[in-house]
Amino acid sequence: MGAGVLNNDAKSGTIWVARHVPQNRDIFISCAGNGQVSLWKYEYPEHRYHVDHQGVSSGVPGKLKRLQRMVVSSQPINAWEWNRDHLGLAVATAYDQCVRVLVTTKLNLQ
């Protein structure tokens, strides 16, 4: 079975960290080298695989939907941890030597 590939419209650059929300595997954060964080939601495809005319199966990728993005530092975010008990609560560090406590709301609506 072949693997599905997913490309999106995100700008090129280095992703330093990516972390799924512990309470929902379909929502995750990516932290870029310019200090920007993006919140994403994975949307599953209607069918998980496709069979071509030769009978070969290949995976069908889903879609990524950007829910939000924000620049939180002038330096790369080098660590991000979600709180396992409180949905949307996170702590992050960056190379500007600051620790940030972040709150993301309305994740239960996704």
25 has a pLDDT exceeding 70: yes
SS (H, E, C) the chain: CECCCCCCCCCCCCEEEEEEECCEEEEEEEEECCCEEEEEEEECCCCCEEECCCCCEEECCCEEEEEEEEECCCCCEEEEEECCCCCCEEEEEECCCCEEEEECCCHHHC
Only one residue has tokens 């972390």, namely 19
90 has a pLDDT exceeding 60: yes
**Residue 1's pLDDT band (cuts 50, 70, 90):** very low
37 has a pLDDT exceeding 90: yes
pTM: 0.79
pLDDT at residue 39, as a whole number: 97
